Structure 1
Amino acid sequence: MQSSFFTLVLLPLALAIVMLGMGLSLVPEDFKRIRRYPRAVAVGTVCQILLLPLLGGWIAMAVPMEPAMAVGLVVVAVCPGGPSSNLMTYLARGDVALSVTLTALSSIVTVFTIPLVTNLALRRFLGEGAAIALPVGTTMLQIFLITLLPTAIGMAIRHRFPGPARRLERQMGRLAAALLGLIIVLLLIREGSKLPGFLAQAGLAIVMLNLLAMLAGLLAGKLFRLPLPQQVCIAIEVGIQNGTLAIAITAGLLNNPDMAVPAAVYSLLMYGTGLGAILYGRRVIPMAPLPK
């Protein structure tokens, strides 16, 4: 498979399918919850938009690794929460409505923050001239086209054809998971000879990012005395990022497979920590009583 097809077609297609599937699960009411849960939404958004990139940048500087992989780690940290976080929140008995709201809101905000923070990371780890590799305006447009536009189309389909949309949502989820798996396999095949070194360099940083982000989200929820379901939701939202988008940015927009390795490994490891969050949530949050 040629690199151009991989970066120009397969990656954007996979991400668009993921976001279309998320759009099929959204209704306008999801965005109205911002007024209903203002404190929880504010805590979750600040953790995702401000705290997580700062945490990613600190880890990238503290853990020795190749500069390209340090940039890739920061890209993972600045990406929004992924659709997988909504499923994990549900399985953990967290606040699913809040999870959907935070995922949708962070997807909108990060269209603007991803190019800015990524350019800062490029300049910090690869030198002053590296930032020109990711033009801010063009990148915002590309991220909009492969994230927000498919999400809006999915919402429009859900509004117009709610029954078929719910059935299509399941199929899109399976297709997106299959494409993400294919992308990770292709990345690992292309960089197979370098994989042991990559894991030795970035494995610790990826685990630290995943665990510390989830812990930070949980502690923030406790600090602001949010209900347990909202604490678990924020922990998962902050800890589970959109790995597909991170791969699309690093391997696609930046055309650097080395930068994509942290995102690919993260996309696998996050399910392990996600399972831990699910078990924690099911232990501390009582099951909702059945309706009488």
Structure 2
Amino acid sequence: MNPTLTVLATDVDNIRIAFEEGSLTTLKIVIGAILFGIALDTRLSDFAAAVRRPVVIAIGVVAQFLLLPALTFVLTLLLDVRGSVALGMILVACCPPGNVSNILTHRAGGDVALSVSMTAIGNVLAIFLMPINMAFWGSLHPTGDALLRDIDLSALDMLTEISFVIGVPFVAGITIARLWPRVAAVGHRIIGPLSFLALGGVILIGVTNNWGIFVDYIGIVLLAVFLHDALALLLGYGIARATRLPLPSTQAMTFEVGIRNAGLGLLLVFTYFDGLGGMALVAAWWGIWDIIAGLAVAQWWRARSTRRTSELEAA
């Protein structure tokens, strides 16, 4: 490793990303809006549909909440990243999927109904499993454990925060979707895109306000995020193929496992980890790169499907 990068890698555990109280409040509102938008597009029938496909849903739950955090932990050891970077990777792996996965599944021509059902189930389970996963895998990491002890992270406190950020908007959105479906349909089309644009704006402002730190340290997390994102997408694809799911379900599984709500992770970094450098950089860059990589995969699948259709028509 370059001597300069070695020094920076050592220092990344000691830096803090500045994030004003007002910006943190805005971030909470934006993440709540994202989850509210997901819930507006969720029906109680989606949960009923999940019950009718228990094996597929169970495969997705195992991949998201057991295999991905475990493989992420192994990846942090193989890459020998600093404690804060390792904790950032683990935190992102513990995050639930967002409705970007639904959009990408639709773009790829996959099973959107399965994607929506898995997103709904994943976000509900994340309320309870995310704090447990984070505390468990973080405490096992040789360098991340010391940082967790310094921060004195409480899984119960994180559970309370996640319940508020995910649970309240989710319940409100599902209730509106149940009572006023037309209002929910219009609201989803507006709130979904606007909330993601707002999240991009919050991240952009945060990067701008910490531009010096971003330029100096981003190189440390580029490779880690690239490999981690590829691992998540490949895990979703691999477990779907291993269990012989049809192609549309494979596409949905790929994005449900591979696409994480890094915005929620970023919120938790500033709420509980005081803007810890490596964690904030991982969550911020993941939120950008994950969408780029997901769009590339979805477009590849779409182009492949179009080409096959053209060949069949020609035949």
Instruction: Give the structure-2-normalised TM-score.
Output: 0.85
Structure 1 equivalent of residue 254 of structure 2: 235
State yes or no: 1:30 paired with 2:49.
no
- Matched residues in 1 for 2:61 and 2:205: separation? 33
Structure 2 equivalent of residue 175 of structure 1: 194
State yes or no: 1:104 paired with 2:124.
no
Q: Is the 8 A contact 2:70 2:137 kept in 1?
A: no
State yes or no: 1:63 paired with 2:82.
no
* Cα offset, 1:129, TM superposition: 6.8
1:199 aligns with one of 218, 229, 234: 218
State yes or no: 1:5 paired with 2:25.
no
What SS is found at the alignment partner of 1:134? coil
- Matched residues in 1 for 2:258 and 2:71: separation? 11
State yes or no: 1:279 paired with 2:299.
yes
Q: Report the more deviating stretch, 55-64 or 134-143.
A: 55-64
* Cα offset, 1:121, TM superposition: 4.7
* Cα offset, 1:60, TM superposition: 1.8
Structure 2 equivalent of residue 77 of structure 1: 93
Seen in structure 2, the aligned counterparts of structure 1 residues 20 and 233 have a Cα distance that, compared at 3 Å, is same
Aligned residues: CA RMSD: 2.0
Over the matched positions of the two proteins, sequence identity in percent amounts to 27
- Matched residues in 1 for 2:226 and 2:268: separation? 21
What CA deviation, in whole Å up to 9, does each residue of 1:157-205 have, x standing for no partner? 1111111111111221132112211221122123321223432211111
Q: Is the 8 A contact 1:115 1:134 kept in 2?
A: no
- Matched residues in 2 for 1:127 and 1:221: separation? 33
1:116 aligns with one of 132, 153, 160: 132
State yes or no: 1:156 paired with 2:172.
no
Seen in structure 2, the aligned counterparts of structure 1 residues 187 and 35 have a Cα distance that, compared at 3 Å, is same
Alignment of 1:121-270 (within 5 A): 121-123=137-139, 124=141, 125-128=143-146, 130-131=148-149, 133-258=152-277, 259-270=279-290
Match for 1:191: what amino acid? N
Structure 1's unaligned 5+ residue stretches are 288-292
What SS is found at the alignment partner of 1:256? coil
1:53 aligns with one of 69, 93, 98: 69
Runs of 4+ off more than 4 Å:
284-287
Match for 1:5: what amino acid? G
Match for 1:44: what amino acid? G
Asked which structure has the greater CA Rg, the reply is 2
Q: Is the 8 A contact 1:56 1:73 kept in 2?
A: yes
Seen in structure 2, the aligned counterparts of structure 1 residues 121 and 194 have a Cα distance that, compared at 3 Å, is farther
Structure 1 equivalent of residue 4 of structure 2: none
- Matched residues in 1 for 2:105 and 2:234: separation? 15
Match for 1:208: what amino acid? L
Match for 2:51: what amino acid? R
What CA deviation, in whole Å up to 9, does each residue of 1:84-135 have, x standing for no partner? 1011111111111111111111112222222223224543334447245321
Q: Is the 8 A contact 1:64 1:201 kept in 2?
A: no
- Matched residues in 2 for 1:215 and 1:12: separation? 30
Structure 2's unaligned 5+ residue stretches are 1-17, 310-315
- Matched residues in 2 for 1:67 and 1:210: separation? 19
What CA deviation, in whole Å up to 9, does each residue of 1:229-279 have, x standing for no partner? 001110111111011111111122322252121111011111221122212
Q: Is the 8 A contact 2:19 2:270 kept in 1?
A: no
- Matched residues in 2 for 1:261 and 1:166: separation? 35
Seen in structure 2, the aligned counterparts of structure 1 residues 3 and 153 have a Cα distance that, compared at 3 Å, is same
Match for 1:226: what amino acid? L
Structure 2 equivalent of residue 290 of structure 1: none
- Matched residues in 2 for 1:271 and 1:104: separation? 19
Q: Is the 8 A contact 2:65 2:94 kept in 1?
A: yes
Q: Is the 8 A contact 1:82 1:103 kept in 2?
A: yes
Instruction: Give the structure-1-normalised TM-score.
Output: 0.91
* Cα offset, 1:280, TM superposition: 3.5
Match for 1:255: what amino acid? D
